[in-house]
Amino acid sequence: MALGPIYNANTRLLNANSGTLPDVSGALLDYFQPMTFEQITKTVGANYQVVETTTPIACYGLWQPMGAQRLAMMPIGQRKWNHFTLHTQLALPLQPDDVIVYLGKQYRCLAQNDYSLYGYYYYEFNDDFSGSGPVTS
């Protein structure tokens, strides 16, 4: 009995699929958990006083420490700061330099990348020691 041809990755062109990138959201969903952040925004109010407001952001994502290899490539000189990555299923209203509070600690967004073709969005954060955000007493 003769076997038919074997079709595997080396016989398929990358653009032969409906999308050219593999959707890995199914694998990531097993690791995702409900998360709530508070985004800190500053506005100039009456009498030119800076008013800080917090806006809760609820999402479903994966918060993890950034790997050592990725840290070695970063141009930031301070390595003692904590660096984290966030993968989410939906896009968040965050841009680089935005400040969030997560689990009682303040973080600054360093990067935001749209990998929606892969099925997720990617964000980078580090400890925010610059003093931005609400004054705690």
Q: What is the model's pLDDT at position 18? A: 55
Q: What is the model's pLDDT at position 83? A: 85
pTM: 0.69
Amino acid at 36: T
Q: What is the model's pLDDT at position 25? A: 74
Amino acid at 99: V
Instruction: Render the burial of 24-47: b for 16+ CB within 10 Å, e for the rest.
Output: eeeebeeebeebebbbbeeeeeee
pLDDT 10s digit of each residue in the chain, 137 long? 666 666 666 666 555 555 556 777 778 788 889 999 999 988 888 888 888 889 999 999 999 987 665 655 555 555 567 889 999 988 999 998 899 999 989 999 989 999 888 888 999 998 887 655 544 43
Instruction: Render the burial of 103-112: b for 16+ CB within 10 Å, e for the rest.
Output: eeebbbbbeb
Task: Say if residues 114 and 121 touch (Cβ distance below 8 Å).
Answer: yes
Does domain 21-127 fall into CATH 2.40.10.270? yes
Residue extents of the structural domains in the chain: 21-127
How far is Cα 56 from Cα 38, in angstroms, rounded to an integer? 4
